[in-house]
Structure formats: structure tokens, C-alpha cells
Amino acid sequence: MANIEFRTDKDILYISLTGRIDATNAADVESVISEIRNANTGMHTVLDADTLEYISSAGLRVILRLRKEEPQLAIINVSPEVYDVFEMTGFAEMMTVEKTYPRISLDGCEFIAKGANGAVYRYDDETIVKQYFNRDALPEIMQERENSRRAFVLGVNTAIPYGIVRIGDGYGSLTELLNATSVTKLIRANKEDLTQSVAYFVDTLKEIHSTEVEEGALPDFKKWVLEWADFLSSYLDEANAQKMRTLIEGIPDSNYMIHGDYHSNNVMVQNGEPILIDMDTLAVGHPVLELGSTFNAYVGFSELDKTVIESFLGIDIDTAHEFWNLSLARYLGTDDKNAIEAVENKAKVIGYMRLLRRCLRRDGDEATVNHYRTKLIEVLNKVDTLEF
């Protein structure tokens, strides 16, 4: 048997099982696992069987003794052949034993979108795949599937992921979207008339925001923004830091759904019907929290570098600004420029908070940090409430 490798992620200790485990090496395997666990005390152990080819009764006894020490022990990435052994011996009933997932390659696949937690590709005419950046993304995938299911049951037209795959040393999820195209593609194809693209985009957003969720079923986005305020307070003068905090605290609590990462890459159109994807950031909260992030997608991120919007959405800066302005007007149901500007300034508070925090956490250059800090202070002095 090859040397046993391990890695840690937060409070989880992943120990890889490789090759064959039988009477000839079971004792050595047990000894090495014990050494690894003793050197990483206080962590939850997960056995990764991705390259385990065979396990005998001697190997099973090693796992049984380990489970007695750690009742929450789990085994992941088990091949069908090895899983049969765990199933026949009852291990699959007494502990978590997860089968391995099919492996796919994204070579040659069309890139659709990139978000905070992963990138979305078209795998074939019927399927899109989301590749997660976190190599241990199974909990995220399961949560996103649950979010999609919950939204679908509540009447939001969303695509529910149906399968999990391995991509390299990480994971992806599969979603069936036959011949669907993104709203972003529609924008690119119809830059001279954005009416239909805006309608798909905004009407889907309003459907989300009109969907009430059972209390406690989804995270509260406002709590996250309050954490942003705590983080940013030391980077602003006392008066602006206090006003920022007061404005966020004054946002009405809400159990209505928000997407959390809403932009046109995440709205697909299939047979004239918009379908929402990428549901890992689903939450509840006031619409201003959503609009702040959407403002960033079309305006905020590109303020210092116009090529950002081109690499992100494949559209030019002027089209992006026009799409944002038309979308905000349709969302608010008015062409009154003063009314639109007033709401936009409220959204900018959230947007610039997010951008400034992002720059600071990623050690952004001084010019970028100063730009977004200045912009945040400007809009803080233009608003007295974030309600609308």
C-alpha cells in the first residue's frame, strides 16, 4: 500500500485510503491512521476512498475500531465495487458511506458564468455543470440542491441540480437545461433593443422578491451585511461608520426571498421561459440588499477598469450601464429619474460596502481601496434610510 496521505480543511481531517487493505497491511494502516489523528486532535475524521481498490475483513475491522473511537466517522468517494463490500457487511447502514461520483472533463465546454463559489459551463445541449472552487464542496452542493428545491416548491422557476460529478480533484453539479440560453447572451445578441432581456431579468427578480419563505428556512442577508459593517468600521471615520451601521440596522427585517448573486448570467431562458440557476447564495432580506449586488455586477466592479465587465459578461460598459438603468426603472415601475436615482443611491451603499470589504480582504491596491471608500462615503451622505 502506498503512503497514506492526509489534508485538513477547517475542522475536518481527510485521510486517503489507497490501493488494497488486507491482512498483510491492515495493522500498518491502522498505526499510520492513529499517528495522523493524534497529530490532528479535535478534528472530525473523513476517510477518502477515492483510490481504494479493495478492502478485506481485516481492513473493515480497522474501520470498525476507528468508528468506535469516532462515532461520526464518514467514508467518501467509495467505488461501486468497494461500496458493495460496505453494503453487504452492514457498514453502509451503521455509518456514512458515500459512493464515488462519475468523472467528467470540462475541456472544450462553453463557459457561461463565474460566481463567488464556482463557475458554470454548458456541458452539452441538455446539461450545464457548475464546478465548485472548494475541493470539498459536497456540503455546498447539497445545500444548493436544497435551496433550489425549496425555491421550486414555493413557485420560483428554478432548475434543480440532479447529479454530482468529480472534476479534477473537486466536485461539480449537473442541471438539465435543454437548449437554454442566458439572458447575458440575449443582451449581446440584441444590444440595440434590450427590452426583452430586461423583461426576463426584472420579472424573474420580482418573482423572487415576492416569494415568502418560512422563518428560519434561509439565511438572513441583513446579518451578513451587519458583519460587513463591523469589518469596515475601522476603515471609516467615526461619523460615517456609525451612519453606515444605523442605516443597515434600519433595514426592515424580511422573510421574502433574495437570490444573493443576481445577474444576467444566472437567468437562463428556455422556450421563452426564464429559469433561475446558481442558488447557493439564496437568502431572505429586503430588496435593497439584492440591488446593491446587482449594481456591482453592471457598474461597481467596472468603475476603475472597463474591461472587467467585458471579461465577466462579454458586454461593453455602455451596454452594461444601459441594462442596469432600464432594469432598475422596470423594477421600480417608474421613469422618474429622481425616484430612480434615490433608490440607486440606497443600493450603492450596499454595493460599495461589499466592494470595499472585498478589496480590503484581498489586499487590494491603495488606489482601489481609496476609490471605493470615497464612493461609499459619498452615498452615505446622500441617504437617510435604505428603505424604499
81 and 164: one domain? Answer: no
170 and 188: one domain? Answer: no
Q: For position 257, what pLDDT does the model report? A: 98
Measure the CA–CA gap between 323 and 183, rounded to whole angstroms.
Answer: 11
The rounded percent of the chain whose pLDDT value lies above 90 is 83
187 and 78: one domain? Answer: no
169 and 263: one domain? Answer: no
The rounded percent of the chain whose pLDDT value lies above 70 is 99
Q: Which secondary-structure segment (H or E) carries 270? A: strand 267-270
pLDDT digits (tens, 9 = 90+) for 90-101: 999 999 998 888
Indicate the DSSP class of residue 39. T
DSSP string, 274-285: EEE---TT-EE-
120 and 260: one domain? Answer: no
81 and 122: one domain? Answer: no
Q: For position 135, what pLDDT does the model report? A: 84
Q: For position 114, what pLDDT does the model report? A: 78
Q: Who has greater pLDDT, 148 or 178?
A: 148
Task: Domain of residue 37: give its range.
Answer: 6-99
Amino acid identity of residue 34, one-letter, is S
Measure the CA–CA gap between 169 and 166, rounded to whole angstroms.
Answer: 7
Residue 208 is part of a domain; what is its CATH number? 3.90.1200.10
Tell whether 1 is covered by a domain: no
pLDDT digits (tens, 9 = 90+) for 60-78: 999 999 999 999 999 999 9
222 and 296: one domain? Answer: yes
Tell whether 354 is covered by a domain: yes
Q: pLDDT tier at 26 (50, 70, 90 boundaries)?
A: very high
Residue among 90, 38, 36 at smallest CA distance from 60: 90
Residue among 328, 299, 282 at smallest CA distance from 150: 282
Tell whether 342 is covered by a domain: yes
47 and 186: one domain? Answer: no
Tell whether 28 is covered by a domain: yes
Measure the CA–CA gap between 376 and 129, rounded to whole angstroms.
Answer: 36
Residue 159 is part of a domain; what is its CATH number? 3.30.200.20
The yes-or-no verdict on residue 1 having pLDDT over 70 is: no
318 and 227: one domain? Answer: yes
Q: pLDDT tier at 336 (50, 70, 90 boundaries)?
A: very high
The yes-or-no verdict on residue 2 having pLDDT over 60 is: no
CA 100 to chain centre: 22
CA distances from 89 to 26, 57, 101, 166 (A): 18, 9, 22, 27
pLDDT digits (tens, 9 = 90+) for 129-160: 999 998 888 888 888 889 999 999 999 999 88
| Phi then psi dihedrals of residue 261, to 5 deg | -150, 55
90 and 164: one domain? Answer: no
Tell whether 388 is covered by a domain: no
| Phi then psi dihedrals of residue 24, to 5 deg | -75, -20
Domain end residue (candidates: 33, 65, 99): 99
Which residues have a Cβ under 8 Å from the Cβ of 112 and sit 6 or more positions away? Answer: 120, 121, 122, 128, 182, 265
State the average pLDDT over residues 332-348.
Answer: 97
Residue among 222, 220, 203 at smallest CA distance from 264: 203
Residue among 150, 387, 145 at smallest CA distance from 257: 150
Total domain count, the chain: 3
Grid cell in block for residue 242: 456609525
Average pLDDT, the chain: 93
The yes-or-no verdict on residue 200 having pLDDT over 70 is: yes
Q: Which secondary-structure segment (H or E) carries 167? A: strand 163-167
Tell whether 385 is covered by a domain: no
The string over 30-49, giving b where at least 16 C-beta atoms fall within 10 Å of a residue's C-beta and e elsewhere, is: bebbeebbeeeeebebbbbb
Query: How many CA atoms, within 13 angstroms, populate the side-chain half-sphere of residue 137?
Result: 25
The yes-or-no verdict on residue 42 having pLDDT over 60 is: yes
Amino acid identity of residue 86, one-letter, is F
Domain end residue (candidates: 124, 147, 176): 176
The crossing angle, in degrees rounded to 10, of helices 221-232 and 238-249 is 170
pLDDT digits (tens, 9 = 90+) for 249-281: 999 999 999 999 999 999 999 989 999 998 989
The yes-or-no verdict on residue 45 having pLDDT over 80 is: yes
Domain end residue (candidates: 156, 176, 196): 176
360 and 238: one domain? Answer: yes
The yes-or-no verdict on residue 319 having pLDDT over 80 is: yes
Q: Who has greater pLDDT, 113 or 96?
A: 96
User: What is the arrangement of strands in the sheet containing 96-99, beginning at the earlier edge strand?
Assistant: 6-9, 12-21, 44-55, 74-78, 96-99
State the average pLDDT over residues 304-325.
Answer: 94
Tell whether 105 is covered by a domain: no
373 and 270: one domain? Answer: yes
Tell whether 232 is covered by a domain: yes
